[in-house]
């Protein structure tokens, strides 16, 4: 169409007025006084039709007619611009008889028509011949006049003006645009009424034409630079403009990408590590200053605009805050994540996500999803996001939001570098009391009308409500969990394990009497504690996590022993050496005071583990080394259990130490061993029977790590079990099986048959008679035997009263489950 009209117009101009065909038609068109006298009738008709078409509300009609108008005006230079602007006003005039939709169509038609003229690039073409031409000034005045009619016309009208500005030479910008009718009034009242479009135009013109004049009034600082623009004082004056930009939601106003580009230019460093690549000290200082300036500007922007303005306002403005932060993320340095994910933002997220009926629930979900995508495989970003979310939520982000955002981020650490980075950051957060978020939750900034009543702090207060203990509890439980997905070589994994182990041991087992920081010259390390002493509950939790860590390490090391390869990375040995080193520091003491008996047992366990460890290293027999290794880990678990539950495991620990001395006399060459040998008589029970009794006594009330250590000891010593020890275990299994049988059976004949389980009654009677003759029961009255005899007596009495009633304790079932497996091994 454009090519055909251009050919018609060229022919029209060549023929001249005297020789033109269809003069009557030309006169009819001229009578309309549209200023297009020098255009061919077909061109004039096409222009009128195109201008009318841009006011059509049919699907895609407006865009199509605007494209055609732009093409025709751009290819036919003889079309006068002032005539076109007059034609647009005349054909798309709004009358009083028009209804709402008709008036809107005319206004949008004008907007598209002006946009077509701007994109035809004919507006600025006269400036080449005459820099004083008034076409541009007149056009800008028309567009500004249109923008004042309706609010939704302002932003696209400013975009049209900027299209023209892009085509203009810099020297003509001042006279043609800034002095256009209505331009100065636009800038003057922008701050008072809150006009984001005026601020958008001012920023774009400032970038195109840096000026020292105060033509933008209060919108931009004078002189203009990023540091002044993002100062707290200047941002505070623009709050009204920022708030009003939410009018175009859900679309983000064009102002925000411009501000983000000034705040974080595309060439800005993504992390502070990039400054290290510079060789010049002067350049490094300059770069460091730039990074500091950027961080300060981001902090001012987030505090003033996001936290104090948008988050404290309506739903639309909260939504806008999330959208702005998503614009920041792609360019945000990892060091600034703590600034963006602030206390108020995290609380706002938690409040929204805690209620699925919240109006902003999907927006908050989308923000978290995009945040996770932005983190990707960057360990620095991942650590920063985890620390920010947990620090500002006191470790309860997943709990309150009923999501697994933090858990999924933690699960992605599978490299030594990433795990070490997370461990060190968690350690710093644990000991740094100032990092804990004590800022109260502002109901107006986090709660919308669809949220639950009450602050976030009131929700899920099952732990210590709003206290630092909840965060510290999460850190302690997360430390060992980091190792779960670690996929590295054994040496690298051992380094991570020892780092976690040291932290748990320092915080859970020891306390400092001289400040919060102690230096070990032997280890060449500094150890820190929180200024406020942690609770005994957290100390016990640390010890329990140490037990689990050692139990898992023992299971992993088991495969090395079975494959005839002795693992050099012995986590248990490392822990005992570390424990002994710290215990010898005068200013450190155990977190709890031990009684004389417990302290004696504690030292005996330390000494015995050291002796067995030395024997294990020197042992050339794989079986003996495995036995020593299993006993050592059980000793370590008992040592920790003595700290957890004083006076409960002292006797069992002493008996285990005695068994170690009997089993490996060469390893235990001390004076106490010699005295024990002299005091022993021929009638003393076999050490293996004592070991079995000790293991039996540990199982009923022990934790999973203790049970696992007992299982490992039995695994390597089961070939040495005596008949007496085997019968003790079988009695427990028999008693439990009979109890279950009595509950399920109704016939007395079956009960009589089952009572003699494995034909053991005669053996038990014979054993009891032999015991009475030799007086064996006097010296080694084991707790487990007493307990079993008592239970059997009580059970018989209960059976006499009511055969259907039986003892169904958890302790018996625990022993049954363990020793059924043990018997199968034997």
Residue 310: CB atoms within 10 Å: 26
3-state secondary structure of 548: helix
Instruction: Place 774 in a pLDDT band, splitting at 50, 70 and 90.
Output: very low
- Quick: pLDDT tens for 299-345: 999 999 999 999 999 999 999 999 999 999 999 998 899 999 999 99
Maximum average pLDDT range among 25-39, 445-459, 541-555: 541-555
Report residue 779 CA to chain centroid gap.
Answer: 59
In angstroms, what CA-CA distances link 342 with 355, 659, 745? 21, 58, 65
Mean pLDDT of 442-470: 47
Using the predicted structure, report yes or no on whether residue 277 has a pLDDT greater than 50: no
Q: Reply yes or no on whether the pLDDT at 794 is more than 60.
A: no
CB-CB contact of 5 with 42 (8 Å): yes
What are the phi and psi torsion angles at 465 (to 5°)?
-65, 120
- Average pLDDT, rounded, for the chain: 79
Mean pLDDT value across residues 591-618: 90
Candidates 432, 463, 464, 438; CA nearest to 532 is 432
Q: Are 20 and 65 in contact (CB under 8 A)?
A: no
Instruction: Give the model's confidence band at 35: pLDDT under 50 very low, under 70 low, under 90 confident, else very high.
Output: low
Determine whether 96 is exposed, middle or buried from the number of CB atoms within 10 Å of its CB (0-12, 13-18, 19+): exposed
Pick the more confident residue, 422 or 444.
Answer: 422
Residue 821 confidence (pLDDT) above 60: no
Phi-psi region of 775 (alpha: psi -120 to 50; beta: other; left: phi over 0): left
Under 8 Å between Cβ of 107 and 143:
no
Q: Cα separation of 482 and 407, whole Å? A: 10
pLDDT for position 664: 86
Task: Identify whether the C-beta of residue 733 lies closer than 8 Å to the C-beta of residue 823.
Answer: yes
Structure tokens at 114: 């002006």
Q: Could you tell me if 260 and 330 are in contact, meaning their C-beta atoms sit under 8 angstroms apart?
A: no
Could you tell me the maximum CA-CA distance found in the chain, to the nearest angstrom?
Answer: 148
- Higher confidence at residue 443 or residue 356? 356
| Residue at token pair 């958890």 | 810
Q: Which of 649, 661, 708, 683 is nearest to 774 (CA)?
A: 683
- pLDDT the model gives residue 208: 78
Which of 168-177, 296-305, 555-564 is least confident?
555-564
CA 418 to CA 378: how far, in whole Å?
9
Q: Is 134 exposed, middle or buried (0-12, 13-18, 19+ CB in 10 A)?
A: middle
Residue 528 three-state SS = strand
Residue 482 CA: distances (Å) to CA of 237, 429, 475, 704, 803: 47, 16, 11, 20, 51
Place of tokens 């139990």: 551
* Tens of pLDDT, residues 617-671: 888 788 888 889 999 999 999 999 999 988 888 888 999 998 898 888 877 765 4
Distance CA 592, CA 539 (A): 9
Asked if 160 contacts 126 with a C-beta cutoff of 8 angstroms, the reply is no
Tell me how far apart the alpha carbons of residues 18 and 342 are, in angstroms, rounded to a whole number: 78
Rounded to whole angstroms, the Cα distance separating 85 from 139 reads 8
pLDDT class of 381 with cuts at 50, 70, 90 = very high
Task: Evaluate if residue 16 carries a pLDDT over 50.
Answer: yes
Q: Select, from the ranges 49-63, 215-229, 491-505, 743-757, the one with the highest average predicted confidence (pLDDT).
A: 491-505
Model pLDDT, residue 799: 41
CA geometry: angle at 93 spanning 89 and 99, to 5°?
Answer: 155
The pLDDT of residue 44 is: 85
> Percentage of the chain surpassing pLDDT 90?
38
Q: Can you give the C-alpha Rg of the chain in angstroms?
A: 42
10 Å CB burial of residue 139 (0-12, 13-18, 19+) is buried
| 3-state DSSP of 235-258 | HHHCHHHHHHHHHHCCCCCCHHHH
- CA triplet 772, 655, 571: central angle to 5 degrees? 150
The residues facing 491 across adjacent strands are none
> Quick one: three-class SS letters along 633-649?
HHHHHHHHHHHHCCCCC
Helices first, then strands: H and E counts in the chain: 42, 4
**Which residues have CB under 8 Å from 747's CB, separation 6+?**
none
Residues 718, 825 contacting (CB under 8 angstroms): yes
- Report the alpha-carbon distance of residue 178 to residue 136 in Å, rounded: 11
Taking alpha carbons only, the member of 330, 328, 342 closest to residue 384 is 342
Confidence at residue 305, expressed as pLDDT on a 0 to 100 scale: 95
Q: Which residue has the tokens 């093409």?
A: 71
DSSP 454: S
Averaged pLDDT, 768-791: 41
Spatial neighbors of 575 by CB under 8 A, at least 6 apart, are 501, 505, 546, 550, 636
C-alpha distances in angstroms, 613 versus 411, 506, 571, 691? 35, 23, 12, 19
Residue pLDDT, tens place only, 672-730: 544 555 445 455 678 888 888 888 888 877 788 998 898 888 888 888 788 887 877 77
Tell me the average pLDDT across 192-219.
84
What pLDDT does 135 receive?
81
| Joined tokens for residue 256 | 């925000």
pLDDT score, position 735: 58
Peptide bond into 734 cis (omega under 30): no
Q: What angle do CA 571, 572, 576 make, to 5 degrees?
A: 115
pLDDT bin (cut points 50, 70, 90) of residue 222 is confident
Instruction: Retrieve residue 132's tokens.
Output: 């004083």
pLDDT digits (tens, 9 = 90+) for 723-762: 887 877 777 666 554 554 445 544 444 444 444 444 444 4
List the structure tokens of 157.
């009208």
Residue 98: per-residue pLDDT? 83
Write down the residue that tokens 């380094």 correspond to: 495
Give the helix, strand, coil percentages of the chain, each rounded to 5: 70, 0, 30
What are the CA-CA distances from residue 323 to residues 256, 263, 307, 344, 764 (Å)?
9, 16, 14, 16, 78
pLDDT on residue 733: 66
> And the tokens for 196?
């984001």
Tell me which residue of 398, 547, 396, 397 sits closest to 469, measured CA to CA.
Answer: 396
Is pLDDT of 443 > 50?
no
C-alpha distance from residue 152 to each of 149, 249, 251, 367 (Å)? 9, 11, 12, 27
Model pLDDT, residue 128: 62
The DSSP-derived string for 570-607 is -HHHHHHHHHHHHHTSTTEEESSPPPHHHHHHHHHHHH
The DSSP line for 597-618 is HHHHHHHHHHHHHHHHHHHHHH
Mean pLDDT confidence for 106-110: 92
3-state secondary structure of 414: coil
What ranges do the domains of the chain cover?
225-340, 475-681+696-719, 723-825
- Position of tokens 């102002």? 255
Secondary structure class of 150 (helix, strand, coil) = coil
DSSP structure class, residue 685: P
User: Tens digits of per-residue pLDDT, 133-156?
Assistant: 778 888 999 999 999 999 999 999
């Amino acid at each position: 169409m454009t090519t055909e009209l251009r050919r018609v117009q060229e022919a029209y101009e060549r023929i001249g007025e005297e020789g033109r065909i269809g003069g009557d038609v030309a006169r009819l068109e001229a009578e309309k006084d549209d200023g297009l006298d020098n255009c061919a009738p077909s061109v004039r008709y096409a222009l009128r039709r195109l201008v009318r078409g841009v006011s059509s509300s049919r699907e895609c009609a407006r865009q199509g007619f605007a494209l055609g108008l732009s093409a025709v005006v751009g290819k036919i230079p003889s079309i006068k611009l002032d005539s076109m602007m007059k034609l647009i006003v005349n054909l798309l005039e709004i009358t009083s008889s028009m209804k709402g939709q008709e008036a809107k169509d005319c206004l949008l038609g004008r907007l598209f028509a002006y946009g077509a003229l701007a994109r035809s690039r004919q507006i600025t073409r006269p400036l080449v011949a005459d820099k004083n031409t008034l076409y541009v000034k007149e056009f800008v005045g028309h567009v500004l006049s249109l923008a004042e009619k309706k609010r939704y016309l302002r932003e696209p009208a400013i975009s049209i003006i900027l299209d023209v500005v892009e085509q203009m030479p810099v020297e003509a910008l001042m006279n043609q645009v800034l002095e256009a009718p209505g331009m100065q009034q636009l800038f003057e009242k922008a701050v008072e009424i809150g006009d984001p479009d005026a601020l958008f135009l001012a920023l774009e013109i400032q970038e195109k034409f840096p000026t020292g004049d105060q033509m933008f009034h209060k919108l931009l600082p004078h002189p203009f630079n990023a540091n002044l623009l993002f100062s707290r004082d200047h941002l505070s004056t623009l709050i009204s403009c920022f708030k009003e930009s939410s009018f175009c939601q859900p679309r983000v106003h064009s102002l925000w990408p411009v501000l983000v580009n000034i705040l974080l230019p595309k060439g800005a460093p993504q992390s502070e590590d990039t400054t290290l690549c510079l060789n010049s000290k002067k350049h490094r200082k300059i770069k460091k200053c730039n990074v500091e300036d950027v961080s300060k500007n981001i902090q001012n922007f987030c505090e003033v605009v996001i936290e104090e303005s948008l988050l404290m306002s309506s739903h639309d403005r909260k939504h806008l805050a999330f959208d702005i932060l998503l614009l920041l993320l792609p360019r945000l340095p990892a060091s600034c994540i703590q600034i963006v994910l602030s206390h108020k933002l995290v609380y706002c997220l938690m409040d929204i996500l805690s209620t699925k009926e919240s109006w902003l629930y999907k927006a908050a979900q989308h923000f978290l999803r995009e945040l996770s995508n932005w983190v990707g495989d960057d360990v620095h970003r991942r650590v920063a996001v985890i620390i920010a979310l947990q620090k500002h939520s006191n470790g309860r982000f997943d709990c309150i939001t009923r999501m697994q955002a933090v858990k999924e981020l933690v699960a992605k650490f599978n490299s030594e570098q990433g795990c070490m980075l997370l461990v060190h950051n968690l350690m710093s957060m644990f000991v740094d009391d100032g990092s804990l978020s004590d800022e109260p939750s502002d109901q107006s900034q986090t709660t919308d009308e669809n949220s639950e009543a009450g602050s976030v702090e009131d929700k899920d207060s099952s732990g210590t409500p709003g206290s630092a203990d909840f965060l510290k509890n999460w850190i302690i439980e997360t430390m060992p969990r980091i190792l779960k997905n670690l996929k590295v070589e054994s040496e690298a994994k051992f380094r991570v394990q020892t780092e976690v182990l040291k932290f748990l041991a320092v915080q859970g087992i020891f306390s400092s009497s001289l400040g919060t920081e102690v230096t070990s010259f032997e280890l060449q390390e500094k150890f820190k504690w929180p200024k406020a002493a942690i609770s005994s509950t957290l100390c016990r939790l640390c010890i329990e996590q140490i037990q689990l860590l050692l139990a898992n390490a023992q299971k992993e090391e088991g495969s090395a022993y079975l494959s005839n390869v002795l693992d050099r990375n012995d986590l248990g040995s490392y822990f005992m050496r570390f424990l002994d080193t710290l215990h010898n520091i005068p200013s450190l003491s155990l977190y709890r005071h031990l009684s004389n008996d417990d302290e004696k047992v504690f030292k005996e366990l330390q000494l015995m583990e050291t002796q067995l460890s030395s024997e294990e290293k020197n042992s050339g027999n794989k079986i003996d080394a495995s036995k020593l290794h299993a006993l050592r880990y059980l000793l370590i678990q008992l040592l920790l259990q003595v700290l957890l539950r004083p006076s409960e495991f002292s006797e069992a620990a002493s008996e285990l130490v005695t068994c170690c001395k009997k089993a490996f006399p060469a390893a235990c060459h001390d004076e106490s061993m010699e005295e024990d040998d002299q005091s022993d008589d021929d009638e003393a029970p076999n050490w293996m029977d004592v070991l079995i009794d000790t293991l039996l006594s540990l199982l009923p009330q022990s934790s999973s790590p203790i049970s696992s250590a007992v299982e490992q000891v039995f695994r390597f010593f089961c070939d040495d079990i005596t008949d007496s020890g085997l019968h003790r275990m079988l009695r427990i299994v028999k008693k439990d099986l009979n109890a279950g049988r009595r509950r399920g059976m109704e016939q007395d004949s079956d009960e009589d048959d089952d009572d003699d389980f494995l034909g053991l009654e005669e053996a038990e009677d014979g054993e009891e008679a032999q015991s009475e003759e030799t007086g064996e029961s006097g010296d080694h009255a084991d707790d487990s035997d007493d307990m079993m005899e008592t239970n059997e007596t009580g059970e018989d009495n209960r059976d006499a009263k009511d055969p259907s009633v039986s003892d169904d304790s958890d302790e018996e079932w625990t022993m049954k489950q363990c020793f059924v497996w043990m018997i199968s091994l034997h």
